[in-house]
Amino acid sequence: MELTLHPLAKTCHASGHAFAEGDRVVCHLVREVTGEIGRRDVLAAEDAAYAKPGPVLCSWTVSYKPRHGEENAGRALKLTAENLFVTLGDPAAEPNPANTPLLQFLGLMLERKKLLRPRGLTPDGERQIYEHAKTHQLYEIPVGNLDEAFFIRIQGQLDLLMGPPKAAAETVASGV
């Protein structure tokens, strides 16, 4: 799963104000009217009033840090399941309970691909600890019940991310 995605913007999508170092910025992945996935970065103080252009796949909050000239901005342009997990699960980011099912699903998928290694549960048993194979960074993801109801709930987010199944899309397009 790969998507082209822009890095963190320098200005607020809602107001056009430039971000200052340390500003809390809410990042949204949205399905655009064109069907593509887009990123909208908005100052946290303006987020509640911001009208999203389409369905929101997921959101996360970060502290704005300007890029320096020597940093490779192109590195962040490809959004894969791996770096979506790393972004949403970042211990420095504010947790967003709405992302938990997507994080659990991505964790399971990346564990199967051997990109994450399970390292057991936290002492309270509430979070699964994963180690990222490349960076050795630890991520704590809430434990969930991966039953049929879980996959029904996550289906909406996956449809937004990847689009509806081809058979369903063809049926809708043909009017059947």
42: Cβ–Cβ under 8 A, 6 or more apart, which residues?
A: 12, 13, 14, 25, 26, 28, 50
- Nearest C-alpha neighbor of 29 from the set 132, 110, 99: 99
Residues ≥6 apart with Cβ < 8 Å to 119: 129, 130, 131, 138
| DSSP character at residue 9 | -
Domain limits, the chain: 2-169
Phi and psi at residue 157, in whole multiples of 5°? -65, -40
| Model pTM score | 0.61
Rg of the chain on CA atoms, in Å: 17
- Round to whole Å and give the CA distance between 40 and 48: 13
Q: Which residues contact 157 (CB under 8 A, 6 or more apart)?
A: 57, 58, 101, 102
Return d(Cα 155, Cα 163) in angstroms, integer.
11
Cα-based distances in Å from 109 to 1, 8, 94, 168, 169: 11, 26, 23, 24, 25
Spell out the alpha helix ranges (H) of the chain: 44-47, 81-88, 100-112, 148-162, 166-174
Query: pLDDT tens string for the chain (176 positions)?
Result: 555 567 789 999 999 999 999 999 999 988 888 877 888 999 999 998 898 888 888 888 888 988 765 445 444 445 677 888 888 888 887 788 888 888 898 898 899 889 999 999 999 999 999 999 999 999 999 998 878 888 877 777 776 666 555 554 444 444 54
